[in-house]
Amino acid sequence: MWWLIIPAIGLVGKVIYDVVTEEDTSVSKSKPIKKLPVSKNKTTLELNLERLRREIDLNSGYKVAILGQPGAGKSSLLKKITQNKVVPLPIIGTQTDATSWADDINCNLLSRYENYVFADVPGYDTLLHPMNIFGSKFPFQKFDAFIFVIHGKLHSADQDMFRLAARTEKYICVARSFSDSLDNNELFAVERDIRMQLGLKDTIPVLFFSNRTGKGINAVFNLIRSKL
């Protein structure tokens, strides 16, 4: 009878195999493998610029962007025109890249003062804040006005950034910092050079101010107030 045992063992093995494979099949059907969506890796700067677009829509008031090269005096200007009452206060340090949107995904992007919302934009055309990212990601159209702060020699990046801001047809003024040491003849020559390099229309004002002495500070903000 021993020859009957072999088929019996084979039959039992098949039953066990069927049960096991059926369980495996049921598990695989009940718990399908989820494929993670493939997403483009984005830098912290890009993520913050996307967040800026969302946060602007959530804030009421006049939106003003302060643009300029690193070290142009943007943050100090913001503190001066708001009598240090803007919240939160801009970061001012000895380094020229004190304001950064490239390191912290939770950094402050906007500041409020009265019914104004300011964006103290980091200096562009640097390793951490390259011009091509600003050119493609910065939400220019979301702002009501621009203060374009310059100091010293203009670069091609200044021309590109100004052109992008002016393209929105929103109000824009040019403010030249560190101007306390310039006499009247120098002021005239500097303004003429700025207008030529940026291709300014006569309707776009060029103002001169000094964060150190406070000269011209009120004129910058009063001009923005009168246009919004």
Q: Specify the DSSP element, H or E, that contains 75.
A: helix 74-81
- Between helix 184-198 and helix 156-166 the angle, nearest 10°, is 70
- Under a CB-based contact definition with an 8 Å cutoff, are residues 210 and 179 in contact? yes
For residue 21, pLDDT beyond 50:
no
SS3 label, residue 48? helix
pLDDT, tens digit, 9 for 90 and up, residues 93-140: 655 566 899 999 999 999 999 999 999 999 999 999 999 999 999 999
Specify the fold of 44-227.
Answer: Rossmann fold (3.40.50)
For the full predicted model, state whether its pTM sits above 0.75: yes
The pair of structure tokens assigned to 89 is 């206060």
Q: Closest Cα to residue 80, out of 141, 34, 149, 181?
A: 149
Residues near 55 by beta carbon (within 8 Å), at least 6 away in sequence: 109, 110
152: confidence class by pLDDT, cuts 50, 70, 90: confident
